[in-house]
Amino acid sequence: MASLNSPRRTATVHNLRAHRSLLAALAILSALPSAAAMEQESQFVFNTFSFLIWGALVMWMCAGFTMLESGSVRTKNASVICLKNIGLYSIAGLMYFIIGFNLMYVDVDGWIGSFEFFYGSSAEEAALLGGDLDAAEAVQGQGYSKMSEWFFQMVFVATTASIVSGTLAERVRLWSFFVFTAVLTAVIYPIVGAWTWGTGWLGGDDGWLAGLTGTAFKDFAGSTIVHSTGGWAALAGALIVGPRLGKFRADGTVRPTVPSNIPIVTLGVFILWLGWFGFNGGSQLALGGAADAVAMSNILVNTNLAAGAGVMAAIIVSRPLLGRVDLLAGLNGAIAGLVSITAAPDILDHRWAILIGFVGGVICTAGIRFLEQVKVDDVVGAVPAHLFAGIWGTLAACIVGGANIVSQLIGVLAVGAFVFGLSLLVWFVIEKTMGARVSREVEEIGQDTGELGLEAYPEFMLMPDPDLIPEQMPEAAAEPERPGEDEGA
């Protein structure tokens, strides 16, 4: 038996150690491609999960809009608001799946994408789900699941349609609104998106606005593309449909319409605020590394700061502008601050987010007063909060967001002219064919009873509105069947 310290034993041990080291080195080398593949797969999973979870949070904004609008209207119209909001979300999803996404992202030639119908998973994804493991590398190379991107984009178009709903509440016909929503989500919004976000945020920008003056039009998450688009469409509808009965008295004064449920309105704004973290944070469009995580953190902080600044600005200026410290102005100030920062929430100096949101709150409050003076009836203040603040936010991206002022101005004007002009035409056609506005009788008794035969608060007694009783206000009896801008009270 050999000694443990014999030369033969020592050589054998050295040989075994060398052999094991060689095997370990070979194992590491052979594992390198697998490690790289795992890293790519991890990025694919995180990017896809990011689209899905942020998209679900943005979808929850529909609940916020529903609460905001149903609490802002009188009780006799709350049920219709609920139906309009779940209806518009459903229509947006269907139309964007049928044609909208393709027009916006597929084979964009600078102006518009493909007119092909329907959208679906890639061939590689279908093969992978069918059991072809060789397709895994091609799928991972996409960077994210195709349908996760579609889902994230779809909830944005639903947000655009929700803006129109609030402005036209209490007098627009249900099915007329649904028809306009279908056109907005299938054609109008996708074309605007094709001009700007082109073939997909992760795949580069092929829209014609991308190459202006050597600097692409910047709209990180949609101050113009989403919010101003919705605001322009809402403004066009308000001009065609007209104001609510008695909203503007014969002497030009404004008759206030008190919201039916202020706590619900407040809850709606908080839900929107929460959803905006998905709206802006998800627009980073990737979660594949430390840089994306840091960027998302900055985006969420800027979003929160801008909203808070918008609230305080609106409260401060509401007394001199509106004659009172106005809760509803403060709530709209939050939305205006959120809209304002949406064009460039990725800025690094967070102090600028406070300034941008503050100015947005002032603009929104002043905009509410301006619309009253020109006799445009916007029930929830959506036009000042989304359109006016959206324009400001798009231009504010030039301050520290790296945008070019010429590109931003051209983008604002081009989108405004296209969306407002086409929306005005669509609303005009709807008015002449099926009627955009409910009858006077339906408006007086409420759309819940007149269109649905269902009351949101059946235990409440519906009291007559003294400003709309002809015996008390003779000038009201002389009004035409379809009121114009100046309504007798």
pTM for the structure as a whole: 0.85
| Residue 480 counted as domain residue | no
Q: Give, as one character, the DSSP assignment of residue 462.
A: -
Structural domain including 201 reads 37-441
Q: Which of 387, 385, 328 is nearest to 362 (CA)?
A: 385
In-domain check, residue 335: yes
Cβ-proximal residues to 3 (8 Å cutoff; 6+ apart), any chain: 9
Three-state SS for 172? strand
Query: Is residue 375 situated within a structural domain?
Result: yes
User: By the 8 A CB rule, do 408 and 394 touch?
Assistant: yes
| Tens of pLDDT, residues 137-181 | 999 999 999 999 999 999 999 999 999 999 999 999 999 999 999
CATH assignment of the domain containing 88: 1.10.3430.10
Q: Is residue 476 part of a domain?
A: no
Q: How many domains does the chain have?
A: 1
Query: Rounded to an integer, what distance in angstroms lies between the CA atom of residue 423 and that of residue 136?
Result: 44
For residues 13 and 9, give the distance between their C-alpha atoms in angstroms, rounded to a whole number: 6
**410 falls within a domain:** yes
Flag whether 2 is in a domain: no
Distance, in Å, from the CA atom of 254 to the CA atom of 371, rounded to the nearest integer, reads 11
Task: Tell me if 21 is assigned to some domain.
Answer: no
3-state secondary structure of 285: coil
**Mean pLDDT across 340-367:** 97
Mean residue pLDDT of the chain comes to: 86
At 253, is the secondary structure helix, strand, or coil? coil
Mean local confidence (pLDDT), 315-328: 93
Show the tokens assigned to 72: 């802002």
Q: What percent of the chain has pLDDT over 90?
A: 70
Q: In the block, which residue shows the tokens 């809402």?
A: 234
Residue 14 belongs to a domain? no
Q: What is the pLDDT of residues 380-429, one digit of tens each?
A: 999 999 999 999 999 999 998 989 999 999 999 999 999 999 999 999 99
Measured distance CA(329)–CA(340) in Å, rounded:
16
Task: Report in angstroms the alpha-carbon separations of 423 from 110, 191, 231, 411, 420.
Answer: 22, 13, 11, 18, 5
